[in-house]
Amino acid sequence: METHFEQFGRTDLGQRLIALIDTPDRYTEFRALSEKGLPAVTALVPVLSPVLMPLEQTDLKRLNAAKQFVGRYVGTIMRKYGHTIVRPSASVPGKLFDVAAVWSGAPSSDAEEDTQAD
């Protein structure tokens, strides 16, 4: 059965968010913020605010779904590279996200080897 996350990822907004999140340098930003003890989604605040903040006035349900999707998508990327959650809820600088997970600053050595093999 398909999850809500998968369904949202196929919407126009979901596809637009994926295009903004899943770029070649994004993981580097996520990792750098994680090494500083900040939520990885912090890297996305300036990029996603212009896309998502208008929904605050028109569709709060859709805004909340989008923010959850972003957090989950970032989690998928971080897990792919072997990071784990070290703090499940931390304040996010900026006004887009309230809280998000903080990931380990370094991936497990097994994950780095797997990533380099790709």
Percentage of residues in the chain having pLDDT higher than 90: 83
pLDDT at 1 (0 to 100): 79
Model confidence at 112: pLDDT above 60: no
Query: What tokens appear for 78 in the block?
Result: 């971080």
Query: What tokens appear for 114 in the block?
Result: 């797997």
For residues 87 and 49, give the distance between their C-alpha atoms in angstroms, rounded to a whole number. Answer: 24
Whether the model pTM is above 0.85: yes
Q: pLDDT confidence of 118, banded at 50, 70, 90? A: very low
pLDDT tens for each residue of 54-101: 999 999 999 999 999 999 999 999 999 999 999 999 999 999 999 999
The domains of the chain are located at: 4-103
pLDDT tens for each residue of 3-57: 888 899 999 999 999 999 999 899 999 999 999 999 999 999 999 999 999 999 9
Backbone angles phi, psi at 91, to 5 degrees: -65, 145
